[in-house]
Amino acid sequence: MLLYESGVLMDMPRMRTLNAAVEYFKSQDPDTCITKHFLYTEVRAGRLPGVIMAGNKYLLDIDQVERFLADGTEKLTAERECEKPLNYGKLRKVRV
């Protein structure tokens, strides 16, 4: 779909809900392992680009998500291996 802004022709982003995004990926590849839970955790962690909140729903720009999955999967696994909880391995006072 095309959008005009200041007289310039622009592509309109293809926004999808989490459920619609999963259906889209399944239509492209019936054997895909992408689930709603995977997308939701990536959205909540702030790793997926092109995400906006509309009311209580997340809307994903499907083109940016595809680019992220194509380019960012290696970065994502490396990043997860390095993640540790805050104050990991340190003693903390217990407040009563």
The parts of the chain modelled with pLDDT lower than 50 are none
- pLDDT score, position 29: 92
DSSP annotation string for the chain: -EEEETTEEEEPP-EE-HHHHHHHHHHH-TT----HHHHHHHHHHT-SSSEEEETTEEEEEHHHHHHHHHHHHHHHHHHHHH---TTTT---PPP-
The ranges assigned to domains in the chain are 11-81
Average pLDDT, the chain: 81
- The 10s digit of each residue's pLDDT in 32-59 is 899 999 999 999 988 888 899 999 999 9
- pLDDT score, position 11: 77
